[in-house]
Structure 1
Amino acid sequence: MKQPDNLFEKNHFLSNNSLMFVNRFTEDFNVPYHAHDFIEYCYVAEGTGFHHIEQETFPIHKGQLYVIPIGVSHVFRPSTPGRSSKPPIVYNCLFDMQLATLLSGLQEQPIQEHLSSLGGNTSSYFSVFDRVGEIERIMIQLNKEMNTNAIGSQAMLHALLSQLIVTVYRLKYGDNGRGAAEEETTGFHQVIDYVEQNFHTTVTLDELSRISGWSARHLQRLFTQHTGQSFGSFLQNVRIQRSCEMLRSTTHKVSYIAEQVGYRSIDSFNEAFKKTVGLTPTAFRKSL
């Protein structure tokens, strides 16, 4: 695992009273790649760009929420250094493990174990998609209470944080902690795994339909529900994500990388890459 150049410490961000901090931040190229000694929930409210987490790079868009456990390294970046793209605006909710332990005492055992894993280096980062805007509403209210500092704000902050934790947990694991429509959710995760393992081939909805037993139309609904994207957009983002990693970590020619991630035409690769990243593959490599 790549070691971060910076460790963001809770003493710099969190007050002794609330043990948490919330802000609304326009991401740029000034914040360094970093880890932190607190748990962080990051919600993408506007704009586009990339989220670099450990050794992976993810295209980001409105509605995504990332859960970053203690010790995990990450940073958000706009698509381009200039003003040609709209930078991502992210709500950040940070809280100390001491507060997580306090709140977990009010929750059922599965959520207690979930929070404990986020603070004990036993859980990986993950993301969920805010399909109905519920997370955004909580984040807006959290940010408002953080800046109001009115009577009862601390109690409101803790109550809203508890609501956020439960909402994200349900989106990740289902209402009962084991998965609403568990069989379908598990099956769709297997579809996602198949796409991520075979993105370099000609993956089609018809092929996924044969593998999963679901119709192409139902698969499209599942992709929208679970990822916030159509199947075509999801596949393209996976391919561009892998190509970014290869452009950053290898000296292979662009044409070779295009072929390795599933594009048979260098022109179609360049077009898709620029549409997603905002730069051509060559310009992206030079910017690194």
Structure 2
Amino acid sequence: MQNDKVKCGLTEIKEGKYIDDIPIDAYVWFEENWEHDEYEHKHTRYQLTYVAEGYQYFHIEKKIYLVPQNHIIWIPTGKEHRTTSEAKMVHLMVVLFNSVPDDDFYKNVHVSLAPSVLKEMLLYTAKWNKLLVEDKEQQLFLKAMLHSLPNFCEENNGLQIPVPTDSRLIPICNYINTNYRYSFDSDDLATKAKMSVRTLQRIFKHETGITLQKYVQLIRILKSIELIDSQQYTLSEIAYQVGYQSLSAFTSSYSSIMKTKPKLKKDILKK
């Protein structure tokens, strides 16, 4: 007896492999407290995901994309991806398209804050949640949203964590990922990588496209987003936990990555 699973409306015939027998061009799949398999999977549909609550990491090729609350990620057809998250609760809205306009935008991964107009459109689509049969308004509305997507997206490349292919750099990234709250000395990192400081900086920039200093900043800010989501700390406490000596320094660094100031979901009283 076959035990195929249905995920986002698609039938998983074996781990990470799907059959798409859905007759309509586009549909919506929304779930609260989302639980997703962490193994890599791919499908022929284009995927637009909106994070309504929590945050989600998307592992795609040689990058890890953080998609915080009220952000979207666009994933082209056939891209292998997997998701992880330490958030207590993740609410995702997924819109899957079978066909897209002939434009380069749709061929690449994009992460963006969802502007208010796009957010309202996505929330409106909840009326068709898991509707897998033809509905004229649904198809026209989703098509209009799809065509407008390039105009809605203001890409934030700061939410991308590059993953180097050079094996000598993996221990360096792992060390930074674990010890991000402390100050880093270039000489110590170079010693761990068994190369000179200049060589380490050159190879790291070549492999990731960013400097070591920028990588440290990126990891700190992404970790701060996780702490903000936990709703357990004040912004000053979070600033200290991720390696900043003052709230103003943290706010400035956060704003340069996220294009907005850090903000708690609700007031948190100091213990």
Q: Does residue 6 in structure 1 map to residue 12 in structure 2?
A: no
**Cα separation, 2, equivalents of 1:73 and 1:149:** 24
Q: Answer yes or no: is the 8 Å Cα contact 1:23–1:93 preserved in 2.
A: yes
Query: What is the alpha-carbon distance in structure 2 between the residues aligned to residue 255 and residue 169 of structure 1?
Result: 34
Q: Do structure 1's residue 72 and structure 2's residue 79 form an aligned pair? A: yes
**Following superposition of structure 1 onto structure 2, how do residues 123-272 of structure 1 map, counting pairs within 5 Å?**
123-132=107-116, 134-147=117-130, 154-172=135-153, 227=156, 241-242=161-162, 250-252=170-172, 254=175, 259=184, 261-262=212-213
Q: In structure 1, how many angstroms separate the alpha carbons of the residues matched to 2:132 and 2:220?
A: 48
- Provide the TM-score with structure 2 as the length reference: 0.53
Partner of 1:91: 93
Please report the TM-score for the alignment, with normalisation by the length of structure 1: 0.50
- The Cα RMSD (Å) is 4.3
The answer to whether the 8 Å contact 1:38/1:94 transfers is yes
| Structure 1 gaps, min length 5 | 80-84, 101-111, 173-224, 228-233, 282-288
Higher helix share: 1
Matched, 1:114 2:103: yes
- Residue aligning to 2:26: 20
Separation in 2 of the partners of 1:147 and 1:273? 32
Cα distance, 1:263–1:23 mapped onto 2, change above 3 Å: closer
Q: Provide structure 2 residue ranges, at least 5 long, that are not aligned to the other structure.
A: 1-14, 190-211, 228-240, 243-271
- For the 8 Å contact 2:28–2:125, the answer to whether it is kept is yes
Hey, what's the Cα distance between the residues in 1 that align with 2:93 and 2:136? 20
Letter in 2 for 1:21: Y
2:51 aligned residue: 44
The 3-state SS of whatever aligns with 1:138 is: helix
Q: What is the CA–CA distance in structure 2 between the aligned matches of 1:44 and 1:245, rounded to whole Å?
A: 29
Percent identity reads 12
Q: Distance in 1 between the 2:56 and 2:144 partners? A: 28
CA distance in 2, matches of 1:170, 1:271: 30
Q: 2:61, 2:218 → 1: CA distance?
A: 25
After TM superposition, give the deviation of residue 63 of structure 1 in Å: 2.2
Tell me: CA distance 1:78–1:244, structure 2 relative to 1, closer, same or farther (3 Å).
Answer: farther
Hey, what's the Cα distance between the residues in 2 that align with 1:148 and 1:242? 37
Question: Runs of at least 4 residues of structure 1 off by over 6 A?
Answer: 243-247, 268-271
| Total equivalences in the alignment | 184
Q: Amino acid of the residue matched to residue 224 of structure 2?
A: K
- Where 2:72 maps in the other structure, the secondary structure is strand
Question: CA contact under 8 A between 1:22 and 1:146: conserved in structure 2?
Answer: yes
